[in-house]
Amino acid sequence: MPDSPNAGPPVGNRGRYRFREYHVTIVADSLALPTYQAVCVTGEDSNCGATSGALLAPDELTHWIAEHCAQSGHELYEQTHRAVVRAEPGAWQ
Ligand SMILES: [Zn+2]
């Protein structure tokens, strides 16, 4: 009886475990604006650390980086895009 539910823990046979699958839909939260931020990480011993602060558009981020690069010659940036998302639970299956 290889498929008996009382046969004990199977080894190397995932098909004998049945996990219920939970479905969620991830959507952007319309009340929270996404933000973009860049930090200058140029530097050998320590990073420059200059930061754009939270910006509301990727264009502003590009502009800040271009400006900082022009002023300092720094070329390496860490860019983050932050957004709040909402998980909408689906049905158990
Ligand atoms: Zn810099």
pLDDT tens, position by position, 16-59: 665 566 677 888 888 888 899 999 999 988 999 999 999 999 99
- Whether 45 is covered by a domain: the verdict is yes
Whole-number Å distance, alpha carbon 81 to ligand 1 midpoint, is 19
Whole-number Å distance, alpha carbon 33 to ligand 1 midpoint, is 27
Whole-number Å distance, alpha carbon 74 to ligand 1 midpoint, is 5
Range of the domain at 78: 26-88
- Whether 3 is covered by a domain: the verdict is no
The number of distinct structural domains making up the chain is 1
What one-character-per-residue DSSP string does 56-81 give? SSHHHHHHHHHHHHHHH----EEEEE
d(CA 37, CA 72): 18
pTM metric for this prediction: 0.64
- Whether 35 is covered by a domain: the verdict is yes
- Whether 13 is covered by a domain: the verdict is no
Check residue 32 and give its pLDDT. Answer: 84
- Whether 15 is covered by a domain: the verdict is no
Is the Cβ–Cβ distance between 78 and 44 less than 8 Å? Answer: no
In this predicted structure, the answer to whether residue 11 has a pLDDT above a threshold of 60 is no
Check residue 1 and give its pLDDT. Answer: 45
